[in-house]
Structure 1
Amino acid sequence: MSFDPATLTYTEAGLIPAIAQDAATGEVLMMAWMNAASIARTLETGRVTYWSRSRQSFWVKGESSGHVQELVDFRIDCDRDCLLVVVNQTGPACHTNRRSCFYTAVRDGAEVELMKPME
């Protein structure tokens, strides 16, 4: 059965959330948005391509920073409204220069920073 991006459930803006997970460690790295065209580009090139809502354009992860995400596996959740892109991550995934965007935890009612920016 071939994959058709049109079978996914998108927001009214034509977007679907995509979670990036490190293939080696299983760590959740980030969440960003994709549309049908960025999904097609990702699957064609093996370089994870998101849709930038602020710039209204494609965002090839690492194109300017060098912090590339190489696609290892592409998964669809059971409701077909969320994606999981399993990647080989080069450098930090977060724009704050941290390994993961999920570096803040709430513990005992207080925010705790779990990691510092990478050198």
Structure 2
Amino acid sequence: MTDWLDEIHWDADGLVPAIAQDHQTGRILMMAWMNREALALTVAEGRAIYWSRSRGRLWRKGEESGHVQKLHELRLDCDADVVTLQVEQLGGIACHTGRQSCFYRVFDNGNWKTVDAVIKDPDAIYHKGHSHE
């Protein structure tokens, strides 16, 4: 692949955590994993492509839901072991639960409180029942 990929400190499985943020608000939308191929393709195609550990294959965000993440900027942290993607979340839904963000629960007085409403029913998004993208 290319030299810039060699600067990343990949974990023992050849993966790096990838945090997707809204490019305008900075809100964290989701966290996923990328391997070298996923990251190289993300840059080449200008859209988020992750590595699905459960499926053991590349996962183009939006391939099932239509909610594509258009890449605006890619950053690498100081330890070179986490990347952030500044993205435009097409369709407004990043989470397989039908919410804008996967981070929709807040710790409050010893409990996790759901603070973000479901925007669209996951069954309607995936047309086959509840599914992780």
TM-score (normalised: structure 1): 0.95
The aligned length equals 118
Query: Unaligned regions of 5+ residues in structure 2, if any?
Result: 121-133
User: After the TM superposition, which residues 3-22 of structure 1 pair with which residues of structure 2 at under 5 Å, given as runs?
Assistant: 4-22=4-22
Find the aligned partners of 1:94 and 1:21 in 2 and give their Cα distance: 12
Measured after TM superposition, the shift of residue 10 of structure 1 is 1.1
Displacement over 4 Å in runs of 4+: none
Paired letter, 2:118:
P
Matched AA of 2:64: S
Gap regions ≥5 residues in structure 1: none
Counterpart in the other structure of 2:82: 82
Q: CA 1:107 to 1:3, structure 2 compared with 1: closer, same or farther past 3 Å?
A: farther
Secondary structure class of the residue paired with 2:30: strand
Q: How does 1:61-80 map to 2 (within 5 A)?
A: 61-80=61-80
Tell me by how many angstroms 1:69 deviates: 0.1
Contact 1:6 1:36 in 2 (8 A): no
Whole-angstrom CA distance in 2 between matches of 1:8 and 1:25 = 26
Name 2:99's counterpart in structure 1.
98
Corresponding letter in the other structure for 1:95: H
Q: Give secondary structure in 2 for the equivalent of 1:4.
A: helix
* Amino acid in the other structure paired with 1:25: T
CA RMSD of aligned residues (A): 1.2
Superimposed CA distance per residue, residues 31-78 of structure 1 (whole angstroms, 9 cap, x where no aligned partner)? 000011100000000011000000111000011211110000000000
Between the two proteins, what is the percent identity of the paired residues?
47
Q: Calculate the TM-score normalised by the size of structure 2.
A: 0.85
Deviation at 1:3, TM superposition (A): 5.3
